[in-house]
A and B are shown apart, each in its own frame.
Chain A
Amino acid sequence: MAELLPPDVRRCTYFFLYDGSKVKGEGDRTREGICYFYPEETPLDRQELLCGQLAGVGRCVSELSFSPVRILRLRRNKFAIRMKDDFFWVSVDAAGPAADFQDGSGFVSSEYESVMVIQRIYLCRSFQALGCSVEVPIVSVCELLDQLIDLFCFYNGSVRQSYQLSSQEFLAARWARYLSHLQSGSSELHHIFSCLRTIDSTNVDPLLLLKAALILQACQRCPLVLAGCILFRGRVVSTQMCPELTMKVMVHESETYTKTPAAHCSSGPFGGAVSSVTVFLTLSELQYLQSAPVNKHLSSESTPQKETPRRKTRLSRTLSDMPSTDSDPSDRGSLQSPQLESFSPQLSDSSVFSPVPSHSATDPLHPPTQPLQPPFSNGKHSSEAEDEALEEPSYYHSFHSNGGDSQTDASVFEENCQVLNGGGDGGGDGGGDGGAACGTVFDFREAANDESHDGKEDGCRSAPEPPRPPHCGAFDDPEQSQLVPMTLYLHRVKGLVLALLVEPLFLSDTASMEEVYHSSLASLNGLEAHLRTVAPGAPGAPGPYVFAHFDHIQSTLTTNLSGGPGGAPERPFVRATSLLHSHFCNTETLQEAIIRSAGAAVYGTRSVAQETYFQQHGGSFRNSGIPNHQDSAFSLPGKARHRLLKHGVNLL
């Protein structure tokens, strides 16, 4: 029955933006309301049918439930939907967490579009949901849609304004570009996890990554520079931004990489190598970027409590918020008695899945994250971490002594750790030992130990685009909060790009610009030369096993899957991964799972920060299906632990 059809390689088969305010009277034609429809070659009457029916039914259901429709399924398609109509918008805000989310002033001044009644529906469709093809989980479809809308707002500002200012054709080209970027040549696994593409850091000298981080740090000496990232051939080398922001920045980079700088880019005084473009940040993104590095954790507390069930950062936030380490013992106490929470049903069931978590409900959200950690993980992690720290002591120490001021040091270090971890040396563990090495500043990290990556996540996640809970939750919508124009500065050296988010003033401040340019130029050239010579790592040797390792915090994926679409032997693995991923997303307390069909047994495990999937090839899984402890399927966890160590995935 299975594996009959290769799935459509496109990740999204329909996408449209429909403005219901233009279709009100009897005489108004549906086509007036269609702002953008993808694929554009769809016959107009079909466009009208889809827009009209789906918008109509969506509106009707929304009115019945007092809440916008989020997911709509047909027998053969599934649609993620976002609809905003002022009336709904206001009422949803009042009930949902988004209302409390900005600190006072910023939110009050945010643009209430009370003049126009706009109803917009964004839709996109995933793969044909035929039983035998890989189904991308609905979680991922929703994520894709949100990414798309966020992207649009990042480069164009609010949707309404852009449609007032620019022509439909112009914006249609934009939508098409973002769509094609999001769909461009990555594997199904990438679609399932919606992850960033990074350079394969197992092949790269860690010193190069350090160098990249230092370049970024150096740029930050200019107070007008908020944060930056370095990209090489469309892949992230190092970033100071959260994954969501990095992803947005990458769109522009890939665009300029393939074309000459587009018309809207203003060339600087440094020729074609440098360009800039206006982008729009949400208030919370900006707030995070502007805050002094050491205060980021503190300020993150004041940012919205829009925690999602998937991102389990609460506990570590509590820890990192503690100014002293005095209270740690008690916290650890609670940390190590997970039974308490996992036994209480109201915590794990109701509050976590409460569709619109109220602001006050976020505190009770802390405990349920606990059962996720195996009770024994702490000890093991710390020893592991120490081992690693011992392996490269010089590296850390040199870095540490380099920084001087402890504040900048902290942030750089953090970035650095992130990058290194991205290199796959064991997920987020590096952060832990980094903290240990760094001394007092990171004491609380050490206490939190393997949660340390959460600390970082904190930093990043306080930016406004935490992926939403799959089926619910109020949006942290770029359009709801005020958008602040900023500038994206790009300095290209062949395949390498330095992308900086800077204050708009930066462009007129020639002195700063020159300083940034000249201070980084030489290093960039050197980095580029080195990276160019790095052999494009052997495409994951088709070993006796396949695995996929997803890091939630950095949104990166490590896999030895070749990645080409439709590889028949991989299909069972991708299918199982897709199912397990959505199960992990929907079930807070689930830690590991083994599922077996007639042909394949797949093991999946997740911790706070990562998800890992593993399948062993060969060794016939044909058996009776009756419980049997000698069954090879049940040895998968052990095998995964051993095999994946050499990929830098630590499952201990």
Chain B
Amino acid sequence: MKCLLIASESAEVLFHWTDPEYQQHIQEQYGASQEEGQGLPAFEDSISTLFAPIIISCSTMVDRLGDSYTSFTTENNHIYVLHQFDECLYIAVNGDGEEGEDDLRRKTYVMKKMIEVLFGMVTLSSYLLRRELRPQDTDQRARLWKHLQSLLETYSHLRENDQSFLVEAVERLIHPTLCEQCIEFLERRLVQQLNSSVERAGEEVLHAFILVHTKLLAFYSSRNASTLSTSDLLTLIIMAQNMYPSDVDHDDPAPEDVESTSGSGPESFYTPEPSPTDRDSSSSEEKPVRGSTPVFEFVDPDIQMAEDSLQTLEVPPPDPSTPHRVFLEVSLKEGLYPMMPHSMYCLPLWPGITLVLLTKVPTSAVAMSVYKFLEAFAKLEKRLSEGQEGSAATRGQPTIHDVRSKLDKFIKALGPSEIQSAQLQNVWTEFKNRAFARGGPGFNRDLIPWCKNMKTQLCGIYRQCFLIESGPTDIPRRLSPGLQERAQTMVQEKLMDWKDFLLVKSKRNITMVSYLEDFPGLIHFICVDRSTGQMIAPSLSITERATSELGKGPVAQFIKRKVWDLVSTTRHYLQKGYSTVTLRDGDFYFCYFLWFENETGFKLEAGDIPVLPDDSAPIGMLAWDYYRKLLRYYSKNHQGEVVKCYELLTVHLGVIPTEIILQHCRQLASKLWEPSRNPLL
């Protein structure tokens, strides 16, 4: 009973996702209110009709009360969480008690993050984003929504089952020698070779990393690349998982099981698709997501409007060598640029092991310019709407005249290309007439709509440059398929002897067994380095077949549940400013600590932690980097020092005396990072 809906202010559905139960629920709902003898309307129509009053009331409240709904809870414990991002209203619903308010809020933020990674700065213009999320063409819309839906499902699945997505930090495979070798290999051989090849078509590989399931084996960034933020990295892992899901937690025989890897090829990895045309036999590289995840049995009978649309849903799969356009944050010396275009190449090595390449597109300078202009207009608009006029509104960096000359040049440079910039040109001319002309209205409130218009036009340019599939005249701008294949083969050769080991290792990265002797009574722990966004935890994989140290069946499930609950509880306390929490709950004793250190490992004094309201953004690193803000907040009092932030969660048996438990925690905190202190990012 889960649902996520994105709607515009006019109650137009921009995206929806429901699980089968909720879909049925909606249909029953709608069926009840329908006249006898009428067939059920399209699902999209039902859901939009049912939610419309809520959406409309929401905007009324914003308009008239300046406040908006954040959640509803009904007596049968259905939870609705609402959040407005710009002009898009996100509504997440749970009716089965599996998710709490925080989980739902997190889901909406994650959805927004994924949309940002997929659409970049287009998200800054509600008008364009609306069109982007809801293409006129119904086939295109169905395709896009399916893609987003499956991303959301992949995320939900990971959040429910993978500890690194529970705490939103990257988990590395702990094998220092191999990791080091691989990093060296990526640096000296792979990236160097790729970047010196002529077949790269102007693209430059910035980052390369190897994933074993969701865990990171090696990560290399080229020298002139900016660091990849944890938030982006986690999102990319979700995307890679979405393309090549590892069915670790499903009951059906998982092919990445050690025994089967030798025998069966890629065919056995993907559950065959129900659809007839979507599949060509050799395609281990195309996106098998579309229908392969069993959860995603979403062939809903209603969204197909007519016979013909059934066909068009199965358009020939995109060329597997086509990269994915992703928009990632880039921090350069001169500043932070969000949502800069990159290409993502996801090359499967073996089932469960993937090589990911991130390249810089040759035209990315355009994106930077657009961002700077957008920022300038946004600032101007803000000042104008605050009531400042004239020079007061235009002060600041860069000066408005600077912007003017740069934008003139920018438009001029766009002229000869096939990008349609006439509209931008017109609006800009009009803007200049109003703002700069002698005797014209100048900088006052009347200019606000023109600022908005300029922003929309700039986003439009950005969209044309980076979002639209390259036109017919274009030579494909990407690493050539041959080059991709070579990269794939190289890494495959390198890891051939290791692959079985890696697949096992990824499931039992570190195990509790090795800690039992030193820490009697310890059941589980998670340690997170928030400054680098990495975590360590004993494996907690619970499948039907494999047993973990926790045993199998209900006890293991129960402890897993406890760990998940503990994380959400401590987040709640952290949100309210509590950085140390210990709980005696049933037969367990839980501890949570957050602390700061400087670079040399010296423990810094605990500072005030901001107290946030209930509906603030979820605490984590995936959708909204709480810890980055926390570090910035804390560093204010530690100028000139590199501040690091750590978190430790432990689960002990309740019979262990508290002093011993605390000693354990202390030892864990000081020991844990030692064996693996090799640089990751």
Q: Please give, as numbers and ranges, the residues of chain B lying within 8 Å of A508 by CB-CB distance.
A: none
Contact, CB under 8 Å: A624 / B605: yes
Contact, CB under 8 Å: B606 / A135: no
Q: Please give, as numbers and ranges, the residues of chain B lying within 8 Å of A56 by CB-CB distance.
A: 53, 57
Contact, CB under 8 Å: B605 / A587: no
Contact, CB under 8 Å: B580 / A596: yes
Write out, one digit per residue, whether chain B residues 43-67 have a CB within 8 A of any chain A CB (1) or not (0). 0000000110110011011001101
Contact, CB under 8 Å: A342 / B587: yes
Asked if A132 lies at the interface with its beta carbon under 8 angstroms from chain B, I say: yes
**Cβ 8 A contact of B586, one of A62, A132, A135, A342:** A342
Q: Please give, as numbers and ranges, the residues of chain B lying within 8 Å of A60 by CB-CB distance.
A: 50, 53-54, 57
Interface residues of A in 553-610 (CB under 8 A from B): 575-576, 579, 583, 587, 589-599, 601
Contact, CB under 8 Å: A594 / B614: no
Contact, CB under 8 Å: B557 / A371: no
State how many angstroms separate the Cβ of A395 from the closest Cβ of chain B: 36
Contact, CB under 8 Å: A67 / B75: yes
Q: Please give, as numbers and ranges, the residues of chain B lying within 8 Å of A339 by CB-CB distance.
A: 587
The interface stretch among B397-405, B436-444, B661-669 is B661-669
Asked if B595 lies at the interface with its beta carbon under 8 angstroms from chain A, I say: yes
The interface stretch among B298-306, B347-355, B381-389, B570-578 is B570-578
Contact, CB under 8 Å: B658 / A62: no
Asked if B558 lies at the interface with its beta carbon under 8 angstroms from chain A, I say: yes
Query: Given the complex of chains A and B, what is the CA–CA distance between A71 and B74 in angstroms?
Result: 7
Contact, CB under 8 Å: A625 / B57: no
Query: Given the complex of chains A and B, what is the CA–CA distance between A337 and B38 in angstroms?
Result: 59
For chain B, what secondary structure do more than half of its interface residues adopt (helix, strand, loop), or is it mixed?
A: mixed
Contact, CB under 8 Å: B662 / A595: no
Q: Please give, as numbers and ranges, the residues of chain B lying within 8 Å of A95 by CB-CB distance.
A: 76
Interface residues of A in 406-461 (CB under 8 A from B): none
Contact, CB under 8 Å: B606 / A622: yes
Contact, CB under 8 Å: A75 / B561: no
Asked if B519 lies at the interface with its beta carbon under 8 angstroms from chain A, I say: no
Write out, one digit per residue, whether chain B residues 642-672 have a CB within 8 A of any chain A CB (1) or not (0). 0000001000000000110011011011000
Write out, one digit per residue, whether chain B residues 557-595 have a CB within 8 A of any chain A CB (1) or not (0). 110010000000100110011111111111100010111
Asked if B610 lies at the interface with its beta carbon under 8 angstroms from chain A, I say: yes
Q: Please give, as numbers and ranges, the residues of chain B lying within 8 Å of A350 by CB-CB distance.
A: 97
Considering only CB atoms and an 8 Å cut-off, how many residues of chain A contact the other chain? 81
Contact, CB under 8 Å: A61 / B578: no
Contact, CB under 8 Å: A629 / B65: no
Asked if A356 lies at the interface with its beta carbon under 8 angstroms from chain B, I say: yes
A64-B29, A349-B561 known; A587 and B76 CB under 8 Å? no
State how many angstroms separate the Cβ of B332 from the closest Cβ of chain A: 31
Contact, CB under 8 Å: A62 / B74: yes
Contact, CB under 8 Å: B608 / A623: no
Asked if A163 lies at the interface with its beta carbon under 8 angstroms from chain B, I say: no
Asked if A401 lies at the interface with its beta carbon under 8 angstroms from chain B, I say: no
Contact, CB under 8 Å: B648 / A627: yes
Contact, CB under 8 Å: B576 / A575: yes
Query: Given the complex of chains A and B, what is the CA–CA distance between A354 and B76 in angstroms?
Result: 8
Q: Please give, as numbers and ranges, the residues of chain A lying within 8 Å of B521 by CB-CB distance.
A: none
Contact, CB under 8 Å: A49 / B611: no
**Cβ 8 A contact of B60, one of A53, A474, A583, A598:** A53
Contact, CB under 8 Å: A75 / B57: no
State how many angstroms separate the Cβ of A48 from the closest Cβ of chain B: 10
**Cβ 8 A contact of A53, one of B61, B594, B610, B662:** B61
Contact, CB under 8 Å: A625 / B54: no
Q: Please give, as numbers and ranges, the residues of chain B lying within 8 Å of A583 by CB-CB distance.
A: 569
Contact, CB under 8 Å: A595 / B573: yes
Q: Please give, as numbers and ranges, the residues of chain B lying within 8 Å of A61 by CB-CB distance.
A: 54, 72, 74, 78, 80
Contact, CB under 8 Å: A629 / B659: yes
Query: Given the complex of chains A and B, what is the CA–CA distance between A592 and B50 in angstroms?
Result: 44
Contact, CB under 8 Å: A75 / B669: no
Q: Which residue of B lies closest to A45 (CB)?
A: B64
Contact, CB under 8 Å: A131 / B75: no
16 chain-A/chain-B pairs, Cβ below 8 angstroms: A53-B60, A60-B53, A65-B76, A67-B74, A69-B74, A74-B70, A75-B67, A129-B613, A132-B611, A343-B587, A355-B77, A472-B76, A575-B576, A624-B604, A626-B595, A629-B658
Q: Which residues of B contact A (CB under 8 A)?
A: 29, 50-51, 53-54, 57-58, 60-61, 64-65, 67-78, 80, 95, 97, 554-555, 557-558, 561, 569, 572-573, 576-587, 591, 593-596, 603-616, 648, 658-659, 662-663, 665-666, 668-669
Apart from A56-B57, A63-B29, A627-B591, list 6 A-B contacts with CB within 8 A: A57-B53, A74-B61, A345-B554, A579-B576, A624-B603, A624-B604
